[in-house]
Structure 1
Amino acid sequence: MRIIDLSSPIDAAGWEPDPITHEIMTPAEGARHMSEEMREHFGLEFDPADLPGGELLSLDTLTLTSHTGTHVDAPSHYGSVGSYGTPRHIDQMPLDWFLRPAVVLDVTDVGTGVIGADRVEAELRRIGFQPQPLDIVLLHTGASRHAGTPEYFTDFAGLDGPAVDFLLDLGVRVIGTDAWSLDAPFGHMIERYQETGDKSVLWPAHFAGRRREYCQIERLTALGSLERPYGFRVACFPVKIAGAGAGWTRAVALVDE
């Protein structure tokens, strides 16, 4: 079995609307920190100089949102009330949703804008595949090439409401994308709304989760490296953050050889 990494890194050097803070405590600093913590919390005295090289362990402290890097959105992210009941947080979601057969749909031709149900259906016909209940559907939009730049947040394509409903009607409960959002870019949605007055064009993919329970994986990468569009599994277990609307994941494709 080959394991293909589909996850983008959490990288403080990349451009983010909500900047990442990454502070690194060196092993020598970690030794002094440990000594101070032991004294304060446990009343123990220990001289860091007694350690080899005066070093203990490094420590990383990060400030970031749960939507930084590759992550899974929970139903509670989409709103506080769902027509199906109270939306669940990420730590409440069933684990068997996140290790499933998967299919990747090539929609790189869409560019920036909206991916409709007809485009999704056409791609499924082209590759000769019908998703089964609980299969994971991944959208290869090509947006990951902009990761780490401002363009990553403005130049991509996202699903409209009918496209999400089409997949949910098939029993899909996890939909992933290599873009920043499963919805179209802010500017595109707002421009369409201002032109038409149609509120249904505003965050339709996310708001679909208020009607029907499902999860999104956002900010995937390397979907184009998969040699075939199906015949593999995806593992994307979210980090168990109590009461959170999302959790980071190290998403991977598992390809049997």
Structure 2
Amino acid sequence: MRIIDLSSPVDATAWEPDPVVHHVLSPAEGAHHMASEMKEHFGIDFDPAELPGGELLSLDTFTLTSHTGTHVDAPAHYGSAAVTEYGTPRTIDELPLDWFLRPAVVLDLQDQPTGATGADVVRKKIAEVGYEPQPLDIVVLHTGAWRYAGTQRYFTDFTGLDGEAVDYLLDLGIKVIGTDAFSLDAPFGDMLSRFRESGDRGVLWPAHFAGRRREYCQIERLHNLDALPAPFGFRLSCLPTKLRGAGAGWTRAVALVDEPAGAHPVIEV
């Protein structure tokens, strides 16, 4: 099979609203760090000079949110148990893994303006693809926003879904909706502007808040969607990291495209 990487990198040099901090201990520094840890926790004396070249292993420490890079939002992210209609919302470590390795279909929303795309457009895009999503399929939105990853524009110029569009997909039996944008909702500035004009709170985070009524997950910040050979006919693997009690977990999302028998695996990054 072909394995196509659909994940955006966690990059401390890229622009983020919540900046990523990446601290690296060199192999030599790692040796001294290990010596200190062994002494403190186990009472074992260890001289780094005994190691070849005085080096052990490097150590990377990242400081970031669980919503940095390509990640899966869990129902617990959308609101508290008091405001959900299906009981206690599950955290990322409690969700069934078979939601996250499924056939997928991509809807091309690159012609949609910044804002919230509605159910009528989603229906039209599904008809254009020629594939009706089946229960538990993963639906992916290709907005084109992934091309701006690492810049401020990535967080301001994209289309999301309104509440009716999310409900339409959930009515089909979908449990995971993905997007290459920063959020499944419209950009914050767009939502706030429409709220101030109308006074309608329903324009504020309707895609996320749909998860207070119906249990489902989002994959946000997918990447490299142009590399897919077709809008369907592949499986998407987006197994989330098992962060206990968390409202989201990072994922290395990849498309698995079946190749003719006997072909060697090809990994495309």
- Tell me, yes or no, whether TM beats 0.5: yes
Identical-residue share of aligned pairs (%): 72
For residues 38-53 of structure 1, the aligned pairs below 5 Å read 38-53=38-53
- The residue number in structure 2 matching 1:183 is 185
State the distance in 2 between where 1:251 and 1:38 align: 37
State the distance in 1 between where 2:88 and 2:137 align: 24
State the distance in 2 between where 1:149 and 1:239 align: 25
State the distance in 2 between where 1:86 and 1:170 align: 23
**Gapped regions of structure 1 (runs ≥ 5):** none
Deviation for aligned residue 1:50: 1.2
State the TM-score, normalizing by the size of structure 2.
0.94
- Count of residue correspondences: 257
- The residue number in structure 1 matching 2:90 is 88
Q: Aligned to 2:106, what secondary structure does the other structure show?
A: strand
Deviation for aligned residue 1:188: 0.6
Q: Aligned to 2:233, what secondary structure does the other structure show?
A: strand
Which whole-Å deviations, capped at 9, do the CAs of 1:191-236 have from their partners, x for residues lacking one?
1111111111110000000000000000000112111000000000
Paired letter, 1:165:
D
Runs of 4+ in 1 over 2 A off after TM superposition: none
State the distance in 1 between where 2:145 and 2:155 align: 9
Deviation for aligned residue 1:53: 1.1
- The residue number in structure 2 matching 1:149 is 151
Question: 1:18 aligned to 2:18?
Answer: yes
- The residue number in structure 2 matching 1:165 is 167
Paired letter, 1:103:
V
State the TM-score, normalizing by the size of structure 1.
0.99
For residues 1-257 of structure 1, the aligned pairs below 5 Å read 1-81=1-81, 82-257=84-259
Q: Aligned to 2:173, what secondary structure does the other structure show?
A: coil
Q: Aligned to 1:208, what secondary structure does the other structure show?
A: helix
Deviation for aligned residue 1:113: 1.2
**Gapped regions of structure 2 (runs ≥ 5):** 260-269
Q: CA RMSD in A?
A: 0.7
- The residue number in structure 1 matching 2:265 is none
State the distance in 2 between where 1:67 and 1:111 align: 24
